[in-house]
Chain A
Amino acid sequence: MKEQQRVDWAQIAANPKFVDLHRKKVRFLFGWWAISTIIYVIFLVCANLAGKLFAWPVIGDINFGYLAILGLFIYCWFIAGFYASWANRVADKITGDLIEELKEGGM
């Protein structure tokens, strides 16, 4: 713990790389969370209020409702994959650079 107390966290928090990282992260994470929530709520509302739409047989007897459910599962997979690739490409890279810089600065 002793070593920890010497770290000036406020200084790191003001580091441009950190500001960039946290802004990108918050925007991505809460943005996609909000989008997911909106999609999910629209689905829930439609399930109750747009019975006609959900009953529409699209492929043979497979109706729109079941395809919507499948679509949501696929959306969840998409979010998982998209976030993983974004984090590996963008967030981890900036984090790595930042930690590198801090180490050089003698942390």
Chain B
Amino acid sequence: MKKLIVVLALAFTLLTSFTTLVPSPAVAGPESYIAQTVVGQTAKAAAPAQSAPAKVEADRRITITIFCIFIAFTLGIVYWAAKRTTTTGDYYAAASSITGVQNGWAMAGDFMSAASFLGVTGLISLFGFDGMMYAIGTSFAYVTLLLIMAEPCRNVGKYTVGDILSFRASPVPVRATMAFAAVLLSVMYLVVQMVGGGKLMELLLGIPYPWAVVFVGILMMIYVVFGGMIATTWVQIIKAGLLMGGGIVLFLLMASHFGFSPRRFFSEVVSSKPIQSWVQLVLLKQPIAEPGFEYGRRFLEPALLQKNVWDQISLGVGSFLLGVAGMPHILMRFFTVPDAKAARKSVVVAMILIGTFFVMVTLLGLGAAIIVTPQSISAVDKGGNMANLLMGHLLGANISPIVGDVLLAFLCAVAFATILAVVAGLVLAAAGAIAHDVWTNIIRRGQASQREQVMAARITSCIVAIVSIVIGIVSETVNVAHLATLAFAIAASGVVPAVVFSLFWRKMTTTGICAVLLVGTVVSLVLVLVSPNMTYPKIVADGAKVQITSLEKKVTNGQTLTDKEKGDLEKAQKTYEANKDGTSIMGLDRPLFPLRNPGIVSAPIGFLAAIIFSLLFPSRREEEKFDEMYVRQTTGLGISQLTET
């Protein structure tokens, strides 16, 4: 039955996207200029960094039609789910009735986000090889989930991470600290997604940023408040299907452009003139080409973006290998399946999907660099987020202009759908921590009726959603990217050691759990605040100073400046004046901690804190209860108590 719904959803969306083809003259927008400019650019080739199209705009009518169909369909699911959501088991864990394969799609969906489909492709199209580090990192993150987290979490957890931790520790302090960490993590990650989503909608549809955030926020609120985990899971599954479908279509179109030949594909990367000049001028900053140096080949080699090996390891091990495994919205996914076998199966399915998806992403990124050129991609969006969309539009337009429009509109609609699905999961994770851990188990001491608990969960979801909408609107001009770094660092150095030690180490105690969560959070926070992620005005001023000196030198040498250079000089002087006496938020001139990703330092500190505090404050009662936990997490005995409410 449920499989049928997914198939119908896919068929329906595809069908409607084709029916929109029919009234072609009416729908065909005036934006085929992008294709022309881009094609023109590719043809010009050798010339460095041309002026490129300033924006990309999807045909509003087609995009909105497709998106409305998605919304209508998902709201239908919410209605269906709301009728089935009466107990807390339904609300937080979809009554543990999701199958392994379904949950696998949903888990994959959690990491096949707009950030990966648009962002990682963009990074690859701008920085080549180094962008692929993000693709492979996500794939490895699931190794930890599969081997360490999946089965034990399913076997002893009920609705939240707090349930796992409080199994043998004193519930009140452990739940309170874990709820604090979970809410902090989820809201940080949520804000990053909301701001990204809002900006994307503004860029693509011309909807003003605040409205875009409110729109996304209200939809996610409806999904979570009424549909709970059942609706969130199904929205995630459908979205994962759409994204996978969209990715495959785009990939096949691109592959056919290169005659399905990997050799030809890579030789075109190497011989592409725009890529060569991009690497030489923008990435390596060499105004004069080194004779005989193959800049095109350099694009396929590491260290164009990430130059510090410690940062590389910190990102890989800290954020991906450990960080992802500690995100509450991911761990919560394990509670939606009935047993450990299904939990295992869901990670296996997710790994197959994620791997396929990211192998496509690596090639799509390189393809976009050849077809659209890095210059045009960065001209539309500095972070490269539009690479896939530009390429889709261009490749579609090669067939017929309307195909380009529809493909672009379809990809945009899928991108919004991915944002919606991911934020819904995050709201649910934060609401679960507040309503289940704090309200039900601490304030009401587990005495609340089912009705009251579900009501509390719904009200909390509402509040979390509203708070994140407000933060999202306020953060429009703030750089929120480091919040994601911070969220993964806290997960890696607080949540992961807490969960792993309480599952596998007899001597882990309440004090140890609370200590590791707090130490992990504080250390990560401090390290990020004094890291190069923050803005350091004096460094900005130094950069401006260099520019000023070089331009002034030109003047003293008797050369006249062009108008553009005069403008640059004035701007640099202003920047210098504004920043020369400033300090970072922490009052620093220079970063104290050299790495952008704190994981490599904060995670070992977290693990050490867990060991030290547990040994300092041992608890016999908790040690005695370890046998029960260990037997249950290994064998799954007694699981029926957790899945039946």
Q: Which residue numbers of A lie inside 8 Å of B, CB to CB?
A: 1, 4, 7, 9-10, 12-13, 18, 21-22, 25-26, 29-30, 32-33, 36-37, 40-41, 43-45, 47-49, 51, 54-55, 57, 59-63, 65-66, 69-70, 72-73, 76-77, 79-81, 83-84, 87, 92, 95, 98-99, 102
Q: Any chain A CB within 8 A of the CB of B358?
A: yes
Evaluate contact between B302 and A47: CB separation under 8 angstroms.
Answer: yes
Q: Any chain A CB within 8 A of the CB of B447?
A: no
For A95, the chain B residues whose CB sits under 8 A away are: 634-636
Most buried by B among A9, A33, A79: A9
Interface string of B201-212 (1 = CB under 8 A from A): 000000000000
For A99, the chain B residues whose CB sits under 8 A away are: 635, 637
Evaluate contact between A62 and B263: CB separation under 8 angstroms.
Answer: yes
State how many angstroms separate the Cβ of A59 from the closest Cβ of chain B. Answer: 7
CA distance A20 to B344 in the complex (A): 20
Evaluate contact between B316 and A18: CB separation under 8 angstroms.
Answer: no
CA distance A54 to B297 in the complex (A): 11
Evaluate contact between A48 and B309: CB separation under 8 angstroms.
Answer: yes
Q: Any chain A CB within 8 A of the CB of B303?
A: yes
Evaluate contact between A54 and B302: CB separation under 8 angstroms.
Answer: yes
Q: Any chain A CB within 8 A of the CB of B245?
A: no
Most buried by A among B140, B148, B362: B140
State how many angstroms separate the Cβ of A51 from the closest Cβ of chain B. Answer: 6
User: B316 is contacted by which of A30, A40, A69 (Cβ under 8 Å)?
Assistant: A40
Q: Any chain A CB within 8 A of the CB of B195?
A: no
State how many angstroms separate the Cβ of B351 from the closest Cβ of chain A. Answer: 4
Evaluate contact between B147 and A83: CB separation under 8 angstroms.
Answer: yes
CA distance A13 to B631 in the complex (A): 6
Evaluate contact between A48 and B148: CB separation under 8 angstroms.
Answer: no
Evaluate contact between A61 and B146: CB separation under 8 angstroms.
Answer: no
Evaluate contact between B301 and A51: CB separation under 8 angstroms.
Answer: yes
Most buried by A among B135, B146, B148, B347: B146
User: A29 is contacted by which of B148, B348, B637 (Cβ under 8 Å)?
Assistant: B148
CA distance A10 to B631 in the complex (A): 9
CA distance A21 to B637 in the complex (A): 14
Q: Which residue numbers of B lie inside 8 Å of A, CB to CB?
A: 129, 132-133, 135-136, 139-140, 142-144, 146-148, 262-263, 266-267, 269-270, 297, 300-303, 306-309, 312-313, 316-317, 321, 341, 344-345, 347-348, 351-352, 355, 358-359, 362, 504, 624, 627-628, 630-631, 634-638, 641
Evaluate contact between B634 and A18: CB separation under 8 angstroms.
Answer: yes
CA distance A51 to B304 in the complex (A): 11
A63-B301, A66-B300, A76-B355 known; A37+B317 contact, CB < 8 A = yes
Evaluate contact between A80 and B348: CB separation under 8 angstroms.
Answer: yes
Report 20 cross-chain contacts, Cβ distance below 8 Å, ordered by A residue.
Answer: A9-B628, A9-B631, A13-B630, A13-B631, A21-B634, A29-B148, A44-B312, A48-B307, A51-B302, A51-B303, A63-B297, A66-B129, A69-B132, A69-B362, A73-B136, A73-B355, A76-B351, A76-B355, A77-B352, A81-B348
Evaluate contact between B267 and A61: CB separation under 8 angstroms.
Answer: yes
A1-B641, A12-B631, A33-B144 known; A83+B344 contact, CB < 8 A = yes
Evaluate contact between A41 and B317: CB separation under 8 angstroms.
Answer: yes
For B135, the chain A residues whose CB sits under 8 A away are: 69
Evaluate contact between A59 and B263: CB separation under 8 angstroms.
Answer: yes
For B624, the chain A residues whose CB sits under 8 A away are: 10
For B316, the chain A residues whose CB sits under 8 A away are: 40-41, 44
Most buried by A among B142, B341, B641: B341
CB-nearest residue of chain A to B270? A61
User: A77 is contacted by which of B355, B628, B634 (Cβ under 8 Å)?
Assistant: B355
User: B630 is contacted by which of A4, A22, A72 (Cβ under 8 Å)?
Assistant: A22
CB-nearest residue of chain B to A85? B348
Evaluate contact between B136 and A69: CB separation under 8 angstroms.
Answer: yes
State how many angstroms separate the Cβ of A13 from the closest Cβ of chain B. Answer: 4
State how many angstroms separate the Cβ of B411 from the closest Cβ of chain A. Answer: 23
A40-B321, A95-B636 known; A87+B143 contact, CB < 8 A = no
CB-nearest residue of chain B to A59? B263
- Given A33-B148, A41-B317, A47-B129, 18 extra CB contacts under 8 A: A7-B638, A13-B630, A36-B143, A36-B147, A44-B312, A44-B317, A45-B313, A48-B312, A49-B309, A60-B267, A61-B269, A69-B362, A76-B143, A76-B351, A80-B142, A84-B344, A92-B341, A99-B637
Evaluate contact between A55 and B301: CB separation under 8 angstroms.
Answer: yes
State how many angstroms separate the Cβ of B461 from the closest Cβ of chain A. Answer: 29
Evaluate contact between A79 and B146: CB separation under 8 angstroms.
Answer: yes
User: A80 is contacted by which of B129, B351, B637 (Cβ under 8 Å)?
Assistant: B351
Evaluate contact between A45 and B309: CB separation under 8 angstroms.
Answer: yes
Evaluate contact between B142 and A76: CB separation under 8 angstroms.
Answer: yes
Evaluate contact between B303 and A48: CB separation under 8 angstroms.
Answer: yes
For B147, the chain A residues whose CB sits under 8 A away are: 29-30, 32-33, 36, 79, 83
